[in-house]
Chain A
Amino acid sequence: MSDRRLVLEIRGLTRRFGGLTAVDRFDVDVREGEIVSLVGPNGAGKTTVFNLISGVLKPTSGSVRMLRTELVGQPAHRITRLGVARTFQNIRVFAQLTVRENILLGTHHWTHSGMLGSATFWPATVRAERAAQAEVDTAIELFRERLKPRLDDPAFALSYANRRRTEIARALAARPKLLLLDEPAAGMNPYERIEIAGLIRAMRDRGLTIFLIEHHMPLVMEISDRVVVMDHGVKIAEGLPKEVHSNPRVVEAYLGRRAASA
């Protein structure tokens, strides 16, 4: 593992909200082709870490580097252009746009077609827009027949699971170097969860590097190469899924002290 290229390198990441330290000197490395899970009780600061990486929030201190480029201080749209794509815990597809338009927006940052080209239907622009259309087809392949018949439906008409799939497809269409998934299996039924596990592995096999937040432990154990555990903003454990699972500090964070000693 360690001979692989470092994709994400977080050092001393700290974010305070008034008196509360939501993330406290957090370190993590994610290497190319890895699936790393970030777990922890509610309020541990997991989503805050994602928000700090993707530029929604500015850290109080610390550094986030992707392929040696510092992300801290860059606006969110530039971080996307540098190759970070993400999904949200509370799905954020564009409800009024169709599935196709949503996924096309994922391609927005790498289809270089200027506004003038757009307005005049310039040939190079038309080609770029065709390439983007092809990317939509590639992105939805992973979902087999789930999204294909829905491509021209507005996103608000989709089932919950299909909205989540659309959001993931949109992130894929961005051709990211690092994919951040915030609770991809939340609200899914057991069948859909198995599907999501297969999907995450398939994305990795396509060469993606994946950093995800997930609550459903069996899923985390099954798909992760490494697991990072947070509690109260601090990293309390890191390692192979098995190691973390039996770590007493982790059990304590999840179940409380008495249960841990019992």
Chain B
Amino acid sequence: MGYFLQQLVNGLELGSLYALVALGYTLIYGILELLNFAHGDVFMVGAFLAAGAAAALVHNEVAAIPGGFVVVLMLLVAMGGAGVLGVAIERVAYRPLRNANRLAPLITAIGVSLLLENAVFVWVSPAPVLVPTNALVSQGIIQAGSVATPLTGLVLFAGSLALMIALDLFVFRTRFGSAMRATAQDREAATFMGIDVDRVIMVTFFLASALAGLGGVLFGLRYASVDFFMGYGLGIKAFTAAVIGGIGNIRGAMVGGLLLGVLESLSGGFISTQFQDTFVFLALIAVLLLRPQGLLGQPVTDRA
């Protein structure tokens, strides 16, 4: 039982990371029906920005800066930087193709993804970069019965959960949120409500990318190492989570992310770590066969 709970806790940690990145896929898909395959790499760039900020501030020769302060700066740099990167990608790579055949922006997204990975590989570091976590956050371990988790894991879980709830409130309770939902359903009709659709799309990309940036910071703090290829695998998992939950559905992305993390952790813990990805994608196939709109998704016929 203890072992099971331990795996469950590990899975929820991992799952909350998937959920954060999955939210970005789902937000952007919801509004543009575009699979932004560069999203995982925006997460990776966010992680590098955070690692860079941490390295610069922790090992500076001027003054010792308290760890908590460094973490706040990492969050600002990574979330802001990733947000701006997302907006720039939309402006340069997707907006010119907004009325093109649907395949064109999809291919472009893959191109942007390769571009980001290789840019970081060439100009930043081909090898993993370490995050000086012991100078930043408590390395304490929380023990509850037989279940133990590092404090950073708890922060990862609680932090991403809080942001997801805030995002949900933003989208479903605010005026700007309803403009987003209107734009998602009928872009042209939305403009007749006086909604500046370009601005809504820009803000959506900023939010989605900033969440990925947050994911990057939390990843660095929890796992202490970032590399140029990390966005690829995590991106695919997060995308899978978004599809399982019902792509375009915000709560679906959260549920899908957590579920996927738990499934991966349990199948790794009880069956085989080598096969854990197999189970993840088996779950995807099962959902696509039995409930193609995703767990919380609306059947496609209702969208019309």
Residue A28 at the chain B interface, CB threshold 8 Å: no
Contacting A at CB under 8 A, from B269-304, are 298, 302-304
Please state if A94 and B186 are interface contacts (CB–CB under 8 Å).
yes
Q: In the complex, A129 Cα to B173 Cα: how many Å?
A: 10
Q: B185, B192, B196: which contacts A97 (Cβ < 8 A)? A: B185
Residue A42 at the chain B interface, CB threshold 8 Å: no
Q: In the complex, A85 Cα to B192 Cα: how many Å?
A: 7
Q: A77, A128, A156: which contacts B194 (Cβ < 8 A)? A: A77
Q: Which of A110-118, A188-196, A222-230 makes up part of the contact surface? A: A110-118
Please state if A96 and B194 are interface contacts (CB–CB under 8 Å).
no
Q: List 19 A-B contacts (CB under 8 A).
A: A56-B188, A75-B196, A76-B188, A77-B191, A77-B195, A85-B192, A94-B181, A94-B189, A95-B302, A96-B302, A101-B178, A101-B181, A105-B190, A108-B175, A108-B178, A109-B195, A115-B203, A119-B176, A132-B175
Q: B175, B176, B179, B192: which contacts A76 (Cβ < 8 A)? A: B192
Among B170, B178, B179, the one with the most A-chain Cβ atoms within 10 Å of its Cβ is: B178
The answer to whether A76 and B298 touch (CB under 8 A), given A96-B303, A97-B182, A97-B185, is no
Q: In the complex, A146 Cα to B192 Cα: how many Å?
A: 24
Residue A104 at the chain B interface, CB threshold 8 Å: yes
Residue B193 at the chain A interface, CB threshold 8 Å: yes
Cβ–Cβ < 8 Å partners of B186 in chain A: 92, 94
Among A77, A80, A96, A97, the one with the most B-chain Cβ atoms within 10 Å of its Cβ is: A77
Q: B182, B191, B197: which contacts A94 (Cβ < 8 A)? A: B182
Cβ–Cβ < 8 Å partners of B302 in chain A: 95-96, 156
The answer to whether A76 and B191 touch (CB under 8 A), given A118-B175, A119-B174, is yes
Q: Give the Cβ gap from B293 to chain A, nearest Cβ, in Å.
A: 13
Interface readout for A74-105 with B: 1 if CB under 8 Å, 0 if not?
A: 01111011000110100010111100010011
Residue B132 at the chain A interface, CB threshold 8 Å: no
Q: Chain A: which residue is nearest B166 at the CB level?
A: A119
Cβ–Cβ < 8 Å partners of B192 in chain A: 54, 76-77, 80, 85-86
Residue A106 at the chain B interface, CB threshold 8 Å: yes
Cβ–Cβ < 8 Å partners of A132 in chain B: 175
The 9 A-B residue pairs with the shortest CB-CB distance in the complex, in nearest-first order: A109-B194, A118-B174, A80-B194, A76-B191, A92-B189, A105-B193, A77-B191, A94-B185, A115-B176
Q: Give the Cβ gap from A188 to chain B, nearest Cβ, in Å.
A: 21
Please state if A174 and B194 are interface contacts (CB–CB under 8 Å).
yes
Interface readout for A47-86 with B: 1 if CB under 8 Å, 0 if not?
A: 0000000111000000000000000000111101100011
The answer to whether A108 and B179 touch (CB under 8 A), given A80-B193, A85-B192, is yes
Residue B159 at the chain A interface, CB threshold 8 Å: no
Q: In the complex, A115 Cα to B177 Cα: how many Å?
A: 9
Cβ–Cβ < 8 Å partners of B196 in chain A: 75, 77
Q: A106, A113, A119, A128: which contacts B193 (Cβ < 8 A)? A: A106
Cβ–Cβ < 8 Å partners of B185 in chain A: 94-97
Contacting B at CB under 8 A, from A152-176, are 156, 170, 174
Q: Give the Cβ gap from B99 to chain A, nearest Cβ, in Å.
A: 13
For chain B, the count of residues having a C-beta within 8 Å of the partner chain is 26
Instruction: List the interface of chain A (C-beta within 8 A of B).
Output: 54-56, 75-78, 80-81, 85-86, 88, 92, 94-97, 101, 104-106, 108-111, 113, 115, 118-119, 125, 128-129, 132, 156, 170, 174
Q: In the complex, A96 Cα to B30 Cα: how many Å?
A: 13
The answer to whether A105 and B174 touch (CB under 8 A), given A77-B197, A92-B189, A94-B189, is no
Q: Give the Cβ gap from B37 to chain A, nearest Cβ, in Å.
A: 26
The answer to whether A118 and B177 touch (CB under 8 A), given A80-B194, A86-B192, A105-B193, is yes
Q: Chain B: which residue is nearest A101 at the CB level?
A: B178
Q: In the complex, A95 Cα to B197 Cα: how many Å?
A: 18
Please state if B303 and A95 are interface contacts (CB–CB under 8 Å).
yes
Cβ–Cβ < 8 Å partners of A78 in chain B: 194
Q: Give the Cβ gap from B33 to chain A, nearest Cβ, in Å.
A: 14
Cβ–Cβ < 8 Å partners of B197 in chain A: 77
Q: In the complex, A115 Cα to B203 Cα: how many Å?
A: 10
Q: Give the Cβ gap from B62 to chain A, nearest Cβ, in Å.
A: 34
Q: Give the Cβ gap from B95 to chain A, nearest Cβ, in Å.
A: 14
Q: In the complex, A113 Cα to B170 Cα: how many Å?
A: 13
Among A81, A85, A88, A119, the one with the most B-chain Cβ atoms within 10 Å of its Cβ is: A119
Please state if B189 and A111 are interface contacts (CB–CB under 8 Å).
no
Q: In the complex, A115 Cα to B194 Cα: how many Å?
A: 15
Q: Give the Cβ gap from B211 to chain A, nearest Cβ, in Å.
A: 14
Cβ–Cβ < 8 Å partners of B304 in chain A: 95
Q: Give the Cβ gap from B123 to chain A, nearest Cβ, in Å.
A: 34
